[in-house]
Amino acid sequence: MATTTKIRCRLNYHYFSAATFKVFSAGVRVGIFSNPLIFMSPTVMQMVLDALILDCNTKYNNYKNHIGTKAEYLAARKALNDALDKLALYVTEVADNNSDTIMIAGYTPTKGNNSNVNPPTQPLGVKLNRDAVIGILNAECKVVEGADTYGGLLVANQPLNNTNIISPSGQIIYTGNSPIPAAQQFIIDLTKGRKKVFSGLQVGVTYYAYFWAINAGGVSALSNAASRKVIEG
């Protein structure tokens, strides 16, 4: 028997480009506050959401026009993301498994049954770049259609001998014949986003980054690796 999962608001807007995110947040504002008979008690007040949207858009324009910093924009976007996440939980409860209600609010609904959801495909376009701070590498992959979250793996000194380390059920295979040598350092990042920050890395060591994607239907195959050597600057 298939396991039924609750239809909820997808949080894919966390990975939208600035332009798409601007349109999305405005759509949520209209969707929720133009339908008070459906959304009678939003968990974020309209004036608060308006202020967060304005601040995010302003900080982005300032950054693009070189009169503000990227850090200021990212902080404003995080504050808006947090408010949208709070509203997403509220809309999910109001919708009560009705995907139409979720779409009225401006969100994208997930599918409600594991048997109807295909596991995400293998992540592509993996990049691994040096940060301005020594000992930090920034990794990311392209957006995987239908993925809800992303896992990341950073391996030191040499790539994996076998990329079948992640099972379809999301388990990490680590046995006596592990593809990761016992002396080889590896770091697993379980944060949800497709952008990972790995810190505390050793200068002179080459690292290999891998990604996998997850949704209600299962786990993707492990990506191909991107590599980068940590240097002093």
Which candidate, 123, 144, 114, places its Cα nearest to that of 216? 114
Query: How confident is the model over 132-154, as pLDDT tens digits?
Result: 899 999 999 998 887 888 889 89
User: Would you say residue 29 has pLDDT above 80?
Assistant: yes
pLDDT tens column, 172-196: 665 444 455 545 678 888 888 888 9
| pLDDT score of 115 | 45
Of the pLDDT bands very low, low, confident and very high (cuts 50, 70, 90), residue 32 is very high
Which DSSP string corresponds to the chain? -PPB----B--GGGG--HHHHHHHHHHHHHHHHT-TTTSSS-SS-HHHHHHHHHHHHHHHHHHHTTSS-HHHHHHHHHHHHHHHHHHHHHHHHHHTT-HHHHHHTTPPBPPSBGGG-PPPPPP---EEEE-SSTT-EEEE-PPPTT-SEEEEEEEESS--S-STTB-TTS-B---TT-SS-TTS-EEEE--SSSEEEE-SPPTT-EEEEEEEEEETTEEPPPPPPEEEE----
**Section 46-62 average pLDDT:** 96
pLDDT for the residue numbered 54? 96
Q: Which of the pair, 80 or 165, is modelled with greater confidence?
A: 80
Residue 226 has pLDDT above 80, yes or no: yes
3 lies in some domain = no
Q: Are residues 148 and 173 in the same domain?
A: yes
Q: Which of 153, 151, 184 is nearest to 170 (CA)?
A: 151
- Quote the tokens at residue 179: 């593809």
* Whether residue 82 sits in one domain with residue 156: no
Sorting pLDDT into bands at 50, 70 and 90, what band is 100?
confident
Query: Which one of 80, 115, 150 terminates a domain?
Result: 115
Q: How many domains does the chain have?
A: 2
Whether residues 102 and 150 share a domain: the answer is no
> What is the per-residue pLDDT for 176?
44
Confidence band for 71, pLDDT divided at 50, 70 and 90: very high
Q: Are residues 105 and 142 both part of a single domain?
A: no
One domain for residues 137 and 107: no
Any domain includes 6: no
Question: 161 lies in a domain?
Answer: yes
Residue 97 forms part of a structural domain: yes
Residue 24 has a pLDDT of 92
Residues 38, 106 within the same domain? yes
Of all residues in the chain, the percent with pLDDT exceeding 90 is 47
In a domain, 71, yes or no: yes
> Same domain for 187 and 103?
no
Q: What is the CATH number of the domain that holds 135?
A: 2.60.40.10
pTM: 0.52
Q: Which domain holds residue 223?
A: 117-229
Supply the mean pLDDT for the chain.
Answer: 84
